[in-house]
Amino acid sequence: MTMRAVVHVSVDAMIEDLRTLVEIESPSRDLDALAVSAKTVASVIENRLGGQAVLIESETGPHVHWSGGGEPQVLILGHHDTVFPLGTLERRPFAVEDGRVTGPGVFDMLGGLVQAVHGLALLDDLSGVEILVTADEEIGSPSSRALIEERALACGAVLVFEGAADGGALKTGRKGCGSFHVSVAGRASHAGLEPEAGVNALIEAAHLVLDIAAFGRPEIGTTVTPTVASAGGVDNVVPAEATVTADVRVESAREQARIESAFAALAPHLEDAEISVQGSIGRPPMPESASADLFAVAQQLLPGLEGRSVGGGSDGNFTAAVGVPTLDGLGAVGGGAHADHEYVLVEAMAERANLVAGLVRAIRDMNAGA
């Protein structure tokens, strides 16, 4: 199986749709901005594919759901929230120059959404296809996770349109990821008159940072990285409070369980200090086995296509964890996610749109022959 001759798709039209989405601005947690963004995403889908996109309200903003009808067979998954605050567009406006599209959210992941929609528009029949575009992926998908899992199980195959890995590779595996927050309660005292009367939360936090860092096992893919710490507020007072935050990435369910147990077992070093721990590995690992069959199809369609396991998480972690075949990184080819130099390569947009169409055809053909 190889991809049919590349069907003409208007890159100019894709760029204009991308401009429309980017210039809305859609930072996570900004419910007013996300409401406008969701309506705009729905409009782009309806204009290109017909039918009606439904807005599903949630406490984190509206999710967008569209169906081509018939028995569900493949879920196109993405998100319309971005990490950039309102006003970023003024400083970094949408632009197309020297073969690159730039602007807040172009790579993560508005470019992928546009490519997916235009790729689906190449199909004569959209039956069995669903699109779900969520409003909260960048903050861990607290309100959309159950919906994502439900629609993934109903469809039986998931194509995730997060940006591609370096060089345009698909993302065939992802680490599980999460954050842990450790709070320390000590006792304040005068740092000059009676420091011994206090319980120094900063010193306790320093001990805990070393304990936490030691949980990592990078040789098997487990990283535990203390990232944020705070303590005290006045230079002559023994601090009574401190906090430590750590980012965690794991490649296996076994390591997920070990890390969560290790954080739960943390104990204070100083007498009378108290600690509390919150957090978890909210996105379970996505093993490469979850993408193997779909990636093989993609390679047949586009010989030379590479796959890569990456450290970042996506909603594909959730769909893989419930046992649904999932292929990620099908979105824009470019780079700079979450950074000011974020960009999309124009030259890859048409090929990726055609890959969408080829994958959907192949999945439906496999289901028909099952």
Kindly report the CA angle at 110 between 106 and 111, in degrees rounded to 5? 70
Local structure of residue 233 (DSSP, 8 states): S
Length of the chain: 370
pLDDT at residue 7 above 90? Answer: no
**DSSP H or E stretch at residue 102:** strand 100-102
pLDDT tens digits, 157-199: 999 999 999 999 999 999 999 999 999 999 999 999 999 999 9
d(CA 343, CA 338): 10
Domain boundary among 223, 256, 283: 283
DSSP 3-state assignment of 28? coil
pLDDT of residue 6: 59
Q: DSSP characters for 262-309?
A: HHHT---SSTT-EEEEEEEEEE--B-GGGTHHHHHHHHHHSTT--EEE
Domain limits at 226? 176-283
Write down the catalytic residue from 17, 25, 30, 81: 81
pLDDT tens digits, 13-50: 999 999 999 999 999 999 999 999 999 999 999 999 99
94 Cβ contact partners less than 8 Å away, ≥ 6 residues apart: 18, 19, 22, 23, 101, 102, 103, 106
- Residues paired with 223 in a beta bridge: 249
Tally of structural domains, the chain: 2
The residue among 262, 275, 292, 87 whose CA lies nearest residue 186 is: 275
DSSP 3-state assignment of 69? coil
pLDDT at residue 330 above 90? Answer: yes
| Domain-located, residue 5 | no
Active site residue 137: yes
Mean of the per-residue pLDDT values for the chain? 96
The residue among 352, 294, 369 whose CA lies nearest residue 117 is: 352
- Give the pTM: 0.92
pLDDT of residue 369: 82
Other Cβ atoms less than 10 A from the Cβ of 323: the count is 11
Report residue 8's pLDDT band, with 50, 70 and 90 as the boundaries.
Answer: confident
Active site residue 81: yes
Q: Are residues 73 and 23 in the same domain?
A: yes
Cα–Cα distance list, 156 to 76, 130, 264 (Å): 11, 11, 35
CB 159 within 8 A of CB 330: yes
| Domain-located, residue 3 | no
| Domain-located, residue 138 | yes
Mean pLDDT computed over 49-55: 98
Report residue 4's pLDDT band, with 50, 70 and 90 as the boundaries.
Answer: low
Q: Are residues 89 and 66 in the same domain?
A: yes
pLDDT of residue 163: 98
Mean pLDDT computed over 318-334: 98
Q: Are residues 277 and 216 in the same domain?
A: yes
Domain boundary among 262, 283, 304: 283
Q: Are residues 148 and 185 in the same domain?
A: no
CATH code of 245's domain: 3.30.70.360
Q: Are residues 265 and 211 in the same domain?
A: yes
Q: Are residues 168 and 180 in the same domain?
A: no
Mean pLDDT computed over 291-320: 97
Supply 226's token pair.
Answer: 């203390």
Q: Are residues 339 and 302 in the same domain?
A: yes
Cα–Cα distance list, 182 to 207, 231, 261, 270, 319 (Å): 12, 12, 14, 15, 29
Local structure of residue 167 (DSSP, 8 states): G
Tell me the residue type at 370. A
**DSSP H or E stretch at residue 242:** strand 241-250
pLDDT tens digits, 254-289: 999 999 999 999 999 999 999 999 999 999 999 999
Alpha helices in the chain (DSSP H): 11-22, 31-49, 88-91, 111-120, 145-155, 201-213, 253-264, 292-301, 316-321, 349-369
d(CA 362, CA 356): 10
Q: Are residues 15 and 163 in the same domain?
A: yes
pLDDT of residue 3: 57
Q: Are residues 154 and 301 in the same domain?
A: yes
Q: Are residues 48 and 171 in the same domain?
A: yes
pLDDT at residue 370 above 90? Answer: no
How, if at all, do strands 274-283 and 176-185 pair?
antiparallel
| Domain-located, residue 4 | no
Write down the catalytic residue from 137, 251, 260, 315: 137
Supply 20's token pair.
Answer: 């429309």
Supply 7's token pair.
Answer: 């069907």
φ, ψ of residue 244 in degrees (nearest 5): -135, 135
Domain boundary among 242, 266, 283: 283
Q: Are residues 46 and 110 in the same domain?
A: yes
Percentage of the chain with pLDDT > 90?
97
Q: Are residues 229 and 313 in the same domain?
A: no
Supply 189's token pair.
Answer: 């005292």
